């Protein structure tokens, strides 16, 4: 029935000046389309809602209105149905369509109404499905509406009043529904948004706002009015947070790991064995390793699968969008074909042209929205991926074994987080191109074949030839990439060490040696970059020229094969438009492939890291100890990694609960290793370890976080005020708090830079005590503090009457005076426990211990008895003076600037308390986010770094390239307009020749500018890196204390990487897209001058959008990069303190902290992504308008336009959208990335040290010859606004004298040496050495001629030889001699590589004592006339100490030696002793005279039991 009704011809619809659709078509298809749409999507939508429940929305007016209108529509449809029945009943013949359509429509409306309610119950605030349904229904009804009106006007007799009335009501209700569905409902009850202080508006935005990204406009407005700040950022959506994302990946990864492990176990164990394996893991695993050695390597868990599992589903959505977009891409050229056909065919009704134009506009707009939605999904996936990877790496870093930790340096692991996670993020946006590019190519070829026939194959051949070329380039680029990454890793690792050991570099005047080392690595990196640049130029050349070559070859073949093949406008320009589409996938494929290659390198690195061995959590049994014992080791053998020989063997220990156990032994005998074994940090080869109760640990080198002092001590426990005060008092920290500018709220710098060694150790101890555990492992906590503070701490904390009495305490110590009070002493020799017992037992045994004691203890023992009684009343003097390194951040109290005499200092402390302010407590400066536009001067700096000549050459080459490109296309349009004579175009040979020549010149220009820009970029980055490195090394120590090393490393890693590889590419793309846009506008203006009316307003709109966007985007980028540093700083810190974190069981808190920092970073990143999408939608709209107007004016002027010019104009217009988009993207990228140049230049303006070398030097050749030091009225301060740290020092030291410098912690002992080396310049007075004022010398001249053995022994990774003599200034014999005198010769000659033995990062593969001896060897090698020892012997046991002292006595016999001493027995035979107190010189005389005087020195000697 309907078929017969609908077979009317097209004449009524298409070939007419007033089109209309047939009545039958309106009643069937137009009614059925919306119904089919809804019924198709409803079931899927229903299941989606069922699984994504967001909570319940209360009934609102909006919801009631939607529901009521839905019911009204349903009633109207039924009214139509009943009317049809009524007609039938009254014998009026009506087609069945009038019954079927309203019934269908009615049921559909009911479904729509039910869906509205179901959405409300499931918490959907705005629904795209429903909006689209109402839209489709309205569009279909609008057609009917128009024809009904036309019918009523033209044929009033045929009108059916009832049906007309119902239809008009139906139409009105549809419009209302459409408007209502554009609005958004209120948020569901109990949703996150209600609780959140600053929720992301996305969740509550309506569908239209979501697809056009309108919801971010509020933030953009704010960002335009004033620079955005931290507080303006929205919270992250729940599903993007670390706590939601990371566990998913970790789960999937564990699943993958288990899959690999499972089959192995099946082959190995019968069920009985595996049941036994549950009980006692160790031996089984041994056997497993033995048997499974070979197959284990074959299957490694796949990180790729784990990632797919985690992010795949959400990602598939993006693929769906991509397919739709790819298909829509080909609508443009098709419409262009129809438009040219329309211009050629003068008989076509003019509404066709307008119809095509409208269709073009709608298609391009839909394409825009879909593409942006696709990108949004991709970027969000990328963001989640980065969060997940960072989270997984962090969690893994907390559990890997020490052996695994040693295979990758801190720098490499941080790189996994920064660089590799970023790689993945970048890849995700492109990865769909892997299938999308071939799809686009196939579609394009299909349409081209339609257009030009088989001659397309010539073009295809050219493309196919290009693929291997690009593939080869990609492969080569990959190898360069790997090489560059390697150099970069090495460079960052070295920089890391340089920055960590900067103080040592300065003291030894080694900056130049290390600058050369860094520069050498940098040069090799630049060589690789240069090769990559040449390759890049070739690939850019093929990339820009391939579309042109394809077009040229195709047209040439087409024209030359048959002279009747005429190249007319339709063929040429539709083909060009298709070739332009082809260009994108062909360009992208090599990029995606190289991006995938990079990501696969990163994936491998990540997989290796995530598959590292983990610490066996069961190696220490926390449950099984029987009552009396607190710690038990039975037959233990431990090594640092599975394959090493055991470091500790035959260990049997039983420690009763509450005992104080001392562990003694020589350097390197395995004392610290024993504690590590108890903590489960070592690999247990055999035996069993069990510990009862919670554990606290104080490492040998204190690990201090960059947080306030209070946070360092409380360490995540509950705050108990009284207990906290007791702990501070017991650990002798109260006097320090008085000095600290912010009390216990003072921020401690990274690695505790603003605390002295003793303070760090005490804070570390206080942390352990505060945490109130059952077992305490103390690794030599008393070494870094003076004798009397050590005594105080032992009595108040560790000893039998201390805070920790009744707990089990394992104390590694070198201090013999504490041994009698220990319940049990373990003596270690070469990794074995040779003797155990109490002090008296061991003495009675006459074994190694007794001898060990007899050598050292006589002097100490005598003083012990009388010294114990009087330690308590003298509490007031305890650690009185200000800690040297803390004065620097103290507020100036003495406003007059003169130093007050010491006795008034007490009253000062009270005022000090009051003036402690919040800003004084801050030390490190966070990376600041600059605001406002990037200044032109930065661009100018960059151009100068490239070289102005090269810069201008590049610009000229760019210009000529685009000129040639425009010329060739204009020539093509003239060619297509050539008249056809006898079915051929006569001058086609000449046309073809010129076309080819223009194309060739275009290619040459491309090649040249690509090379010039890349080489320019490399020149710039070499220059910028050199100057930055030099500037940083020239900075004074205070600069490094203020600036977190994370910031500096970030400059050398991230910012240099940007300057190396990102900026040159961005400049190329920016210039390219800028010239593209200008060219396109020119062509369109030439073709249709009317467009001139439109371009200015669109240009203005474009400009506003761009400024709006750039203002916010730039700030968001800055906020993002500022919040990125803390993620890495925290990670760095964690890596250094893993053993402490594990011992205290604080992993979860640290993971939480890391997650919150990552979220904080993503909080700034997410609006950045959305801002990009917001911009793209607006800009593409501008582009779409340009296309539409170009088409519209062409249609209007179709009589005066030649088809060639029209084709040219519209094919250019079709390109303009992409170029516009790219232009803004690139200009903002350029602005955000050029900031790297600004940041790198920034260190040029900071303060610098004095000159390293002076031209006219007052220094005689062999200076200093005698080593005579004269200090006159000397004083110095740490910062301009602080008091003098030491003042009025007058000392004269004769050449060859041995002078000890003593004083309480912080009395200014170290300050004096800092002044001697001019690490800090004098504020008053002067120092003369051999009659030369040191202030008149170059720093290197001074520092290279006096030697120091510093407090912390710093080694750099590299050979041992490099650590002793970085300038290679001494022969091997000299070096060996120095090692022999430093008692290292046996150790070094026992190493496989001897002098070339690689020291690991920070020298971690040597024990602390050995490192100290290496520093001694350095001093012996330089053998200068003046030697300064800075508490160098604190970390060494007494035997080694004696070795060092005797070496210094014999080897430096005729030198002047200044020793800062904690152990007074080392300086009792010195010629004189200088006693400092509160920054002043208190006493200066020979030791015997000072003891006779009974002054400060006498008291200190008494504390140490020396008198």
pLDDT of 1218 strictly over 60 = yes
pLDDT of 294 strictly over 50 = no
What average pLDDT does this structure show over 1249-1260?
76
What average pLDDT does this structure show over 1127-1154?
88
What average pLDDT does this structure show over 211-236?
87
What average pLDDT does this structure show over 1227-1247?
79
What average pLDDT does this structure show over 1059-1082?
84
Average pLDDT in the chain: 80
CA angle 911, 912, 918 (to 5 degrees): 125
* Beta bridge partner(s), residue 844: none
Residues 300 and 635: beta-carbon distance below 8 Å: no
**What pLDDT score was predicted for residue 529?**
87
**What pLDDT score was predicted for residue 913?**
38
pLDDT of 1148 strictly over 50 = yes
Which tokens hold the place of 103? 């019934």
User: pLDDT tens digits, residue range 815-863?
Assistant: 777 888 888 888 888 888 888 888 888 888 877 777 777 766 543 443 3
* Beta bridge partner(s), residue 810: 661, 777
1293 vs 1149: CA distance, rounded Å? 54
Residues 794 and 801: beta-carbon distance below 8 Å: no
* Least confident piece of the model among 855-864, 989-998, 1213-1222: 855-864
With H, G, I as helix, E, B as strand and everything else as coil, classify residue 813: coil
Identify the residue with better confidence: 1502 or 262: 1502
1294 vs 1335: CA distance, rounded Å? 20
Element containing residue 588 per DSSP (H, E): helix 569-610
Lookup result for tokens 């959590």: 617
Across the beta sheet with 648-656, the strand order is 620-621, 683-691, 629-639, 648-656
Residue 1334 Cα distances to 677, 1181, 1321, 1341, angstroms: 50, 70, 10, 9
842 vs 848: CA distance, rounded Å? 9
* Beta bridge partner(s), residue 777: 697, 810
Which residues lie closer than 8 Å to 1292 by C-beta, 6 or more apart?
Answer: 1268, 1269, 1270, 1271
**What pLDDT score was predicted for residue 928?**
56
**What pLDDT score was predicted for residue 904?**
32
User: pLDDT tens digits, residue range 542-580?
Assistant: 777 777 888 888 888 888 887 777 788 888 888 888 887
Angle between helices 948-976 and 1063-1087 (to 10 degrees): 40
59 vs 117: CA distance, rounded Å? 9
Residues 105 and 77: beta-carbon distance below 8 Å: yes
Torsional sign, CA 798, 802, 805, 807: negative
pLDDT of 172 strictly over 90 = yes
Which residues lie closer than 8 Å to 291 by C-beta, 6 or more apart?
Answer: 268
Count of other CB atoms within 10 angstroms of residue 1485: 17
What average pLDDT does this structure show over 709-728?
86
Highest mean pLDDT among 229-233, 1210-1214, 1282-1286: 229-233
Residues 126 and 185: beta-carbon distance below 8 Å: yes
What average pLDDT does this structure show over 1220-1234?
78
Which residues lie closer than 8 Å to 601 by C-beta, 6 or more apart?
Answer: 478, 481, 482, 485
Which residues lie closer than 8 Å to 1323 by C-beta, 6 or more apart?
Answer: 1275, 1276, 1277, 1284
User: Residue 390's Cα: distance from chain center in Å?
Assistant: 8
Lookup result for tokens 């390239």: 961
The proportion of the chain whose per-residue pLDDT surpasses 90, expressed as a percent, equals 3
DSSP string of 769-805, one letter each residue: HHT--SEEEEESTTTTS-HHHHHHHIIIIISTTSTTT
Element containing residue 828 per DSSP (H, E): strand 824-829
Residues 730 and 805: beta-carbon distance below 8 Å: no
**Residues of the chain by 3-state class (helix, strand, coil), percent to 5:** 65, 10, 25
121 vs 109: CA distance, rounded Å? 19
Q: Which long-range contacts (CB under 8 A, 24 or more apart) does 1110-1113 make?
A: 1110/1224, 1110/1227, 1110/1228, 1110/1231, 1111/223, 1111/224, 1111/227, 1112/219, 1112/220, 1112/222, 1112/223, 1112/224, 1112/228, 1112/1167, 1112/1171, 1113/1168, 1113/1171, 1113/1172, 1113/1175, 1113/1228, 1113/1232
With H, G, I as helix, E, B as strand and everything else as coil, classify residue 1252: coil
**What pLDDT score was predicted for residue 1424?**
82
What average pLDDT does this structure show over 1021-1031?
87
pLDDT of 264 strictly over 70 = no
pLDDT band at 878 (very low <50, low <70, confident <90, very high): very low
HSE of 1145, CA atoms in CB hemisphere, 13 A: 9
What average pLDDT does this structure show over 489-505?
84
Residues 1057 and 1270: beta-carbon distance below 8 Å: no
Across the beta sheet with 1269-1277, the strand order is 1284-1293, 1269-1277, 1324-1329, 1332-1333
Across the beta sheet with 1298-1302, the strand order is 1346-1349, 1426-1430, 1456-1460, 1298-1302, 1472-1477, 1480-1485
Count of other CB atoms within 10 angstroms of residue 301: 19
The proportion of the chain whose per-residue pLDDT surpasses 70, expressed as a percent, equals 89
* Least confident piece of the model among 885-894, 981-990, 1084-1093: 885-894
pLDDT of 1025 strictly over 50 = yes
Count of other CB atoms within 10 angstroms of residue 283: 11
User: pLDDT tens digits, residue range 650-671?
Assistant: 888 888 888 889 998 877 788 8
* Beta bridge partner(s), residue 779: 812
Angle between helices 1147-1196 and 242-268 (to 10 degrees): 120
pLDDT of 1027 strictly over 50 = yes
What average pLDDT does this structure show over 1031-1059?
82
**What pLDDT score was predicted for residue 906?**
34
* Beta bridge partner(s), residue 675: none
Greatest alpha-carbon span in the chain: 137
Give the single-character DSSP code of 748: P
> Do strands 660-665 and 1398-1399 pair parallel, antiparallel, or not at all (unpaired)?
unpaired
**What pLDDT score was predicted for residue 359?**
92
Residues 1277 and 1285: beta-carbon distance below 8 Å: yes
pLDDT of 509 strictly over 90 = no
User: Residue 833's Cα: distance from chain center in Å?
Assistant: 46
Q: What is the pTM of this model?
A: 0.74
With H, G, I as helix, E, B as strand and everything else as coil, classify residue 399: coil
């Amino acid at each position: 029935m309907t078929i017969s009704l609908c077979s009317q011809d097209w004449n009524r619809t298409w070939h007419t000046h007033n089109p209309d659709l047939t009545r039958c078509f309106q009643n069937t298809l137009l009614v059925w389309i919306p119904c089919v749409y809804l019924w198709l999507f409803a079931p899927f939508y229903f299941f989606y809602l069922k699984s994504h429940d967001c909570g319940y929305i209360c009934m609102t007016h909006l919801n009631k209105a939607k529901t009521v209108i839905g019911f009204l529509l349903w009633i109207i449809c039924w009214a139509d149905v009943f009317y049809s029945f009524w007609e039938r009943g009254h014998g009026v013949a009506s087609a069945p369509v009038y019954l079927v359509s309203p019934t269908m429509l009615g049921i559909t409306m009911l479904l729509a109404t039910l869906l509205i309610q179901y959405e409300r119950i499931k918490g959907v605030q705005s629904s795209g499905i429903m909006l689209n349904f109402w839209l489709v229904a309205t569009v279909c009804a609008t057609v009917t509406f128009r024809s009904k009106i036309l019918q009523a006007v033209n044929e009033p007799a045929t009108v059916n009043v009832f049906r007309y009335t119902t239809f008009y009501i139906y139409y009105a209700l549809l419009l209302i529904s459409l408007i209502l569905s554009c609005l958004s409902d209120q948020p569901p009850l109990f949703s996150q948004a209600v609780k959140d202080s600053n929720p992301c508006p996305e969740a509550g935005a309506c569908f239209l706002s979501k697809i056009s990204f309108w919801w971010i406009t509020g933030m953009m407005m704010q960002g335009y009015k004033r620079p955005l700040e931290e507080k303006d950022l929205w919270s992250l959506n729940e599903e993007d947070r670390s706590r939601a994302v990371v566990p998913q990946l970790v789960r999937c990864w564990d699943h993958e790991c288990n899959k690999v492990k499972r089959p192995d176990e099946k082959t190995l164990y019968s069920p009985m064995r595996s049941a036994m394996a549950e009980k006692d893991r160790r031996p089984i695993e041994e056997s497993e390793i033995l048997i499974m050695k070979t197959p284990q390597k074959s299957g490694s868990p796949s990180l790729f699968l784990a990632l797919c599992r985690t992010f795949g589903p959400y990602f598939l959505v993006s693929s769906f969008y991509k397919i739709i977009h790819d298909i829509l891409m080909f609508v443009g050229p098709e419409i262009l074909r129809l438009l040219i056909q329309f211009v050629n065919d003068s008989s076509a009704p003019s509404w066709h042209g307008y119809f095509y134009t409208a269709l073009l506009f709608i298609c391009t707009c839909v394409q825009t929205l879909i593409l942006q939605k696709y990108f949004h999904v991709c970027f969000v996936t990328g963001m989640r991926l980065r969060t997940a990877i960072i989270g997984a790496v962090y969690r893994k870093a907390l559990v890997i074994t020490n052996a695994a930790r040693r295979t990758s340096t801190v720098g490499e692991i941080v790189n996994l987080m920064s660089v590799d996670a970023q790689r993945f993020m970048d890849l995700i946006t492109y990865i769909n191109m892997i299938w999308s590019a071939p799809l686009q190519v196939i579609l394009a070829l299909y349409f081209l074949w339609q257009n030009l026939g088989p001659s397309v194959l010539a073009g295809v051949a050219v493309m196919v030839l290009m693929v291997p070329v690009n593939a080869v380039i990609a492969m080569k680029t990959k190898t360069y990439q790997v090489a560059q990454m390697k150099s970069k890793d090495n460079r960052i690792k070295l920089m890391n060490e340089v920055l960590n050991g900067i103080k040592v570099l300065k003291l030894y005047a080694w900056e130049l040696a290390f600058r050369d080392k860094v520069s050498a690595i940098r040069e090799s990196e630049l060589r690789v970059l240069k090769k990559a640049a040449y390759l890049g130029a070739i690939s850019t050349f093929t990339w820009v020229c391939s579309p042109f070559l394809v077009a040229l070859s195709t047209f040439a073949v087409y024209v030359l094969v048959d002279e009747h093949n005429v190249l007319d406008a339709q063929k040429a320009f539709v083909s060009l438009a298709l070739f332009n589409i082809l260009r994108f996938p062909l360009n992208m494929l090599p990029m995606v492939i190289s991006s995938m290659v990079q990501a696969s390198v990163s994936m491998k690195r990540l997989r290796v890291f995530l598959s590292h061995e983990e610490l066996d959590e069961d190696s220490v049994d926390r449950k099984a100890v029987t009552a009396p014992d607190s710690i038990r080791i039975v037959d233990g053998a431990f090594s640092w990694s599975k394959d090493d020989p055991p470091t500790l063997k035959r260990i049997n220990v039983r420690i009763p609960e509450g005992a104080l156990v001392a562990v003694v032994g020589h350097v390197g005998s395995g004392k610290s290793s024993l504690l590590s074994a108890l903590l489960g940090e070592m690999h247990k080869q055999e035996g069993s370890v069990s510990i009862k109760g919670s554990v606290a640990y104080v490492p040998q080198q204190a690990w201090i976080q960059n947080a306030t002092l209070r946070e360092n001590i409380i360490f995540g426990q509950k705050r108990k005020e009284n207990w906290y005060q007791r702990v501070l008092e017991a650990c002798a920290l109260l006097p320090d708090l008085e000095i600290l500018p912010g009390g216990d709220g003072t921020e401690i710098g990274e690695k505790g830079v603003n605390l002295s060694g003793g303070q760090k150790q005490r804070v570390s101890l206080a942390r352990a005590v505060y945490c109130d555990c059952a077992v305490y492992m103390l690794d030599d906590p008393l070494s870094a503090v003076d004798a009397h503070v050590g005594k105080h701490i032992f009595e108040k904390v560790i000893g039998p009457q201390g805070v920790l009495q009744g707990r089990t305490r394992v104390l590694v110590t070198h201090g013999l005076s504490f041994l009698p009070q220990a319940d049990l002493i373990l003596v270690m020799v070469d990794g074995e426990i040779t003797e155990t017992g109490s002090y008296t037992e061991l003495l009675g045994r006459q074994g190694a211990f007794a001898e060990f004691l007899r050598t050292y203890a006589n002097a100490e023992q005598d003083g012990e008895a009388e010294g114990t009684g009087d330690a308590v009343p003298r509490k007031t003097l305890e650690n009185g003076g200000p800690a040297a390194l803390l004065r620097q951040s103290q507020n100036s109290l003495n406003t007059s600037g003169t130093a007050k005499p010491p006795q008034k200092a007490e009253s000062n402390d009270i005022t000090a308390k009051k003036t402690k302010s919040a800003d004084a407590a801050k030390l490190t400066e966070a990376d600041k986010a600059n605001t406002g536009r990037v200044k032109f001067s930065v661009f100018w700096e960059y151009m100068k770094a490239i070289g102005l000549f090269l810069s201008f050459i590049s610009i000229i080459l760019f210009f000529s390239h685009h000129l040639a490109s425009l010329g060739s296309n204009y020539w093509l349009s003239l060619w297509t307009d050539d008249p056809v004579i006898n079915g051929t175009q006569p001058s086609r040979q000449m046309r073809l020749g010129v076309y080819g020549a223009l194309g060739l010149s275009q290619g040459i220009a491309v090649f040249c500018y690509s090379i010039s820009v890349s080489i320019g970029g490399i020149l710039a980055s070499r220059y910028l890196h050199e100057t930055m490195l030099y500037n940083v090394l020239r900075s004074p120590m205070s600069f490094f204390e203020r600036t977190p090393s994370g910031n500096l490393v970030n400059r050398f890693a991230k910012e240099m990487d940007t300057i190396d590889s990102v900026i040159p590419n961005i400049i190329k793309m920016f210039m390219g897209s800028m010239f593209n846009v200008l060219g396109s506008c020119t062509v369109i203006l030439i073709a249709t001058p009317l467009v001139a009316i439109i371009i200015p307003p669109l240009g203005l709109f474009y400009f506003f959008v761009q400024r709006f966007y750039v203002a916010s985007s730039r700030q968001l980028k800055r906020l993002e990069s500022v919040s990125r540093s803390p993620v890495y700083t925290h990670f760095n810190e964690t890596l250094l303190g893993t053993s402490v974190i594990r011992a205290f069981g604080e992993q979860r808190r640290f993971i939480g902290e890391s997650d919150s920092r990552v979220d904080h970073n993503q909080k700034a990143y997410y609006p950045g992504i959305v801002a990009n999408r917001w911009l793209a939608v607006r800009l593409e709209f501008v582009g779409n308008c340009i296309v539409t107007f170009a088409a519209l004016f062409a249609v209007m002027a179709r009589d005066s336009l030649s088809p060639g010019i029209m084709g040219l104009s519209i094919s250019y217009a079709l390109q303009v959208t992409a170029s516009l988009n790219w232009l803004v993207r690139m200009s903002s990228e350029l602005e955000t990335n050029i900031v790297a140049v600004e940041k790198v230049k920034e260190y040029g303006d900071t303060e610098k040290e004095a000159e390293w070398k002076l031209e006219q030097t007052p220094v005689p050749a062999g200076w200093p010859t005698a080593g005579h030091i004269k200090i006159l009225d000397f004083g110095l301060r740490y910062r301009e606004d602080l008091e003098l740290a030491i003042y009025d020092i007058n000392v004269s030291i004769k050449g060859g004298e041995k002078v000890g410098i003593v004083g309480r912690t912080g009395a200014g002992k170290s300050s004096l040496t800092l002044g001697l080396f001019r690490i800090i310049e004098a504020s008053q007075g002067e120092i003369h050495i051999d009659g030369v004022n040191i202030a008149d010398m170059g720093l290197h001249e001074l520092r290279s001629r006096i030697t120091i053995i510093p407090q912390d022994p710093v080694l750099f990774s590299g050979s041992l030889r490099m650590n002793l003599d970085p300038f290679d200034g001494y022969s091997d014999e000299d070096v060996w001699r120095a090692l022999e005198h430093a008692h290292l010769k046996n150790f070094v000659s026992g190493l496989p590589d001897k002098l070339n033995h690689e020291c690991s990062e920070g020298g971690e593969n040597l024990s602390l004592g050995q490192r100290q001896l290496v520093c001694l060897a350095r001093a012996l090698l330089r053998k200068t006339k003046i030697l300064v020892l800075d508490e160098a012997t604190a970390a060494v046991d007494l035997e080694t100490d004696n070795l060092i002292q005797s070496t210094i006595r014999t080897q430096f016999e005729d030198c002047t030696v200044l020793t800062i001493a904690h152990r007074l027995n080392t300086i009792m035979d010195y010629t004189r002793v200088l006693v400092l107190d509160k920054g002043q010189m208190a006493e200066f005389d020979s030791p015997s005279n000072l003891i006779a005087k009974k002054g400060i020195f006498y008291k200190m000697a008494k504390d140490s039991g020396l008198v």
